[in-house]
A and B are shown apart, each in its own frame.
Chain A
């Protein structure tokens, strides 16, 4: 009698694509590259431009959402990340780092409706005017992200909690795209976060010189010559630039306000008082 045994079930693999405008498209270039056995989308210049246009399209509405709403969505993202921790540990992210990334999202979620109170001001001008300074998002932020999951969350969260939208060049593709799935299931409007995988050295110059990008976060750039080149390109339309840390960043430390304030403008409005 022939031995009958149930065939072992073949696993369903994930295709790692880009995250642009809330969708998961392949690179328009059709290119992929091999990372730890997966064919991952290799983003091109055109993908950068598509992502910037998705980020621009989403920006006004996201900035106009209530701070309460933005905080709720970031907290929801923390819930989703907590729920998918096994996916990240399976990718080799240490459990402690997934937890720290989750906690970082919770920390930033709470900032949404507090940052204006901390960095705004009522200015006692010498005249009959009501004068108020309040922070506003810079707009579209280009991010060259660090490789770690905690680093990635630590650059995305401060940008979006303050009402910016981001185009992120992520060097650790599987974890980054898995994080995109977390965000896509957190009621985060499409286009607020866009993630491109591939080689930042190839795509970052296009992001740095793009005239519809308002700020550039170079936290993940560890090549000093590349950082200089990108900062110089960013001067074309006077982007706000966050330089890489002098000593490689310890993302477990208290981030402070700077990652948020660097991506905020201060608007001061004068109203006359009188009968």
Chain B
């Protein structure tokens, strides 16, 4: 029994009309493919639609379409390219509720997040890069596009990752073949329809669906000039190996194991909110999630108590319910990984705790979980879990906090909680991570460059810096 009982407040799904099947979006047309797979709602395991699997021939056609479109698209005056992107941004704003509901259906994330975080950021990203298209000569990276960009995106923020990839690529005059994740293809296919609504020239954006094999065929295609990938470090490594010896440009946004450091002078309630947001936002399916809490030893007991109290009020359940804080885990495979690593956490001696919460009987669910008594040797402190699981470690001095925070092959993000400005700045200087949030967490903005150090990848998305990955 949670603290408050809420009446159900479901968002209507009637705003979305999902077709029974979708083909591949190549050269401005939807084309059938030989094979298909099903995409399901992870909250109910209900099949939402059948989606095409692109094979080698399909990938060839998509890349060829993008190549043909490149000549005229790159020659178009920047101001005209900009207007297409502004159009797309506007259509996304107009259709944002539909897209938000669709995203929650296919991904499992709470409607509160898809509606208030994902979709506004998607539209803003197109709006931001639209404005760059005719101002590239002021950005400092030249004005020459690379050519055909092969883009492969993950399932955690399907439409937002699409925006982060497509908006800068088009603004700089490249054309795109994008593959959404196997478990979340639908919003990308709806985006294809938005491209048609915007009358974007055929071939400028091509969307092909499929699993890892389709992605591999795409990034290894010899007529691709640029590869942009967001996903696991393991796949990122394989891609880096596969582009070796080619002239393909590569940008990678990979895994993370971010430290969220709470000093003893931190504003406690605010920090608790930030820690909760840092790890439970989007079910913890966030590459920059604050999955390691480093709390100063002197306040750790009371802080963990406050954290548990707050966790007990999190509402887990129907993603389409407007009161839901934590939705469904995206897939059975991901649920298995989260469960396995959590079992390992217990087996290695860390203390596991979850608030009492009733999980739905169908679909993929995992209760918000914290582990205390975690050491740096534990696998739950070293490996990316990509789920709603927080590992709590303690420290005594700022130097120890910095050392522990940096003791990971990853370097995507970090958080610092303190009321002392000079401490924040000094610690931020020493953390080896690409994005650092001080007294806040998981903030994103199209003007703000995002990307990692070390094995979290290379290249930046967002901001002026985000243009570099798409210019020669």
Footprint of B on A, CB under 8 Å? 118-119, 121, 123-127, 129, 131, 133, 138, 214, 224, 227-229, 231-232, 234-238, 240, 243, 246, 257, 261, 265-272
Contact = CB atoms under 8 A, between A and B. Distances in A.
Contacts, number: 107
Contacts of B245: 224, 227-228, 231-232
Interface residues of B, number: 41
3 closest Cβ pairs, A-B complex: A228-B245, A235-B240, A231-B244
Contact of A129 (B424, B434, B440, B464): B440
Contacts of A237: 409, 454-455
Given A125-B448, A238-B236, A265 B241 contact: no
A130 B447 CA distance: 12
B463 A123 contact: yes
B160 interface: no
B241 A238 contact: no
A125 B445 contact: yes
Interface string B229-241: 0000100111011
Contact of B247 (A121, A246, A267): A246
B457 interface: yes
B465 A133 contact: yes
B428 A269 contact: yes
A238 B424 contact: no
B320 interface: no
Interface of B: 124, 140, 233, 236-238, 240-241, 244-245, 247, 252, 254, 409, 424, 428, 433-440, 443, 445, 447-451, 453-455, 457-458, 460, 463-465, 468
A121 B463 contact: yes
Contacts of B445: 123, 125-127, 131
Contacts of A269: 428, 435-438
Contacts of A214: 454
A269 B438 CA distance: 7
A129 B464 CA distance: 18
Contacts of B458: 238, 240
**Chain A interface helix/strand/loop/mixed:** mixed
Given A133-B463, A232-B245, A238-B458, A123 B449 contact: yes
B286 to A, nearest CB: 15
A238 B447 contact: no
22 contacts: A119-B140, A121-B449, A121-B463, A121-B464, A123-B463, A124-B447, A126-B445, A129-B443, A131-B448, A133-B463, A133-B465, A224-B245, A228-B244, A229-B244, A235-B238, A235-B240, A238-B236, A238-B455, A243-B247, A267-B434, A267-B435, A270-B443
B124 A235 contact: no
A224 B458 CA distance: 23
A234 B424 CA distance: 34
B146 to A, nearest CB: 14
Contact of B240 (A131, A238, A246, A266): A238
Contacts of A235: 237-238, 240-241, 244
Given A231-B244, A238-B454, A267 B436 contact: yes
Contacts of B453: 138, 265, 267
Given A234-B244, A267-B433, A268-B449, 5 more contacts: A121-B463, A126-B124, A238-B237, A238-B457, A272-B440
A126 B464 CA distance: 15
Contacts of A129: 440, 443
B247 to A, nearest CB: 7
Nearest to B457: A238
Contacts of B449: 121, 123, 133, 266, 268
A268 B464 contact: no
A224 B465 CA distance: 30
A265 B440 CA distance: 22
Contacts of B241: 232, 235
A57 to B, nearest CB: 15
B124 to A, nearest CB: 7
A270 B440 contact: yes
A232 B244 contact: yes
A119 B460 CA distance: 13
A209 B221 CA distance: 26
B244 A266 contact: no
A270 B236 contact: no
Contacts of B436: 267-270
A212 B245 CA distance: 23
Contacts of B433: 267
B450 A268 contact: yes
B237 A133 contact: no
Most chain B CB within 10 A, of A227, A234, A243, A269, is at: A269
A266 B460 contact: yes
A20 B68 CA distance: 53
B438 A272 contact: yes
A233 to B, nearest CB: 9
Contacts of A238: 233, 236-237, 240, 252, 254, 454-455, 457-458
A206 B422 CA distance: 41
Contacts of A127: 443, 445
Contacts of B247: 243, 246
Given A235-B241, A238-B237, A238-B240, A266 B439 contact: no
A123 B463 CA distance: 7
Contacts of B439: 271-272
B438 A270 contact: yes
A127 B442 CA distance: 13
Contacts of B451: 266
